[in-house]
A = this chain, B = another copy of it.
């Protein structure tokens, strides 16, 4: 049964295990540094569909199906699926998983959705709300660009601070028994709003939320950055990463720079794949990095303790047009090798 540690952290004494995980990505992500570790690379971003939204749903379903299959279960064995994405009314998820017949709890955390869903799945399994819970998410560069920014055909120039929405879907199956990695603690974040209004600089908007959650977690658990092999944010990119390290030093007097990495800087080679600007973003980005490289290294024992912090910018194109600032949130999951 979960036990609270400090004000915001939840310890999961049974340390629910991830028994299956999968990540499928688009061509550009396949060409990135982690390319060989993904379960499938869609060379054709349409996935054979007529629209980008339908393509995203196909990838979402594919990731969930692969994770279920790798966990050695069938969809009927799952008690609940926590899923969400960036598309209006989360149609990437709902149309993706509608045929699976799994009880569906929709989640919204923008790019933090994988951390939020995984935290929910783990808390459910630890507390016996579910025997088997799934967390999944997706994003697609083309559906996101069209929805949040400009028609693709417009070919607008991007600012250097802007991030590239990853075409990726990922899923993890959480159960009590088998484990390739275990989830020991989770923390649900509080919304932070530093008044950033530039929708082309999400990293800056999200860094304060990451700072808040990491600081809360370290204080709650009475630990320091050196207790972790990796503090992994997703996705701050170059601008947000620099800001996060600075905020952690100035506000909290904590130096995380030696153990910090960011999924947005791992999925692409920012120095070579210039078009991605400040790095990757989108629900699928941190999900895909987690459900390939990170979980694999935890499974192999190369990593022992990873604090995964998903960050989400809680805005819409309407809120930005109405001159609103960008509130953000970050949720954390402490992973340990299986």
Contacts and interface: CB of A to CB of B under 8 A. Distances in A.
Interface of A: 1-4, 8, 10, 50-51, 53-54, 79-80, 84, 86-91, 94-95, 97-98, 101-110, 116, 120, 123-124, 127-129, 131, 147, 187-191, 193, 314-319, 322, 324, 327, 329, 331
A107 B104 contact: no
19 contacts: A1-B1, A80-B188, A84-B106, A88-B88, A89-B110, A89-B316, A94-B327, A94-B329, A95-B319, A98-B314, A101-B190, A103-B187, A104-B190, A104-B191, A105-B331, A106-B116, A106-B314, A107-B108, A108-B108
A188 B8 contact: no
Nearest to A329: B104
Contact of A106 (B104, B108, B127): B108
Contacts of A318: 53, 87-88, 91, 147
Nearest to A53: B318
Give the residue among A102, A106, A127, A131 with the most B Cβ atoms within 10 A.
Answer: A106
Contacts of A80: 188
B129 A315 contact: no
A94 B326 CA distance: 10
Copies, count: 2
A196 to B, nearest CB: 13
A22 to B, nearest CB: 21
Contacts of A88: 88-89, 316-318
Contacts of A4: 79, 131
B1 A128 contact: yes
A90 B89 CA distance: 8
Contact of A127 (B1, B110, B331): B1
A270 B128 CA distance: 43
A4 to B, nearest CB: 8
Given A1-B127, A129-B127, A193-B98, A188 B104 contact: yes
Contact of A322 (B3, B51, B116): B51
B191 A91 contact: no
Contacts of A107: 105-108
A98 B107 CA distance: 17
A2 B95 contact: no
B129 A319 contact: no
Contacts of A1: 1, 127-128
7 closest Cβ contacts across the A-B interface?
A127-B127, A106-B108, A94-B314, A89-B316, A103-B188, A88-B88, A98-B191
A101 B213 CA distance: 12
Given A88-B318, A90-B108, A106-B109, 13 more contacts: A10-B129, A50-B322, A53-B319, A88-B88, A91-B315, A91-B318, A95-B324, A95-B327, A97-B191, A104-B188, A105-B109, A106-B108, A123-B124
A128 B11 CA distance: 11
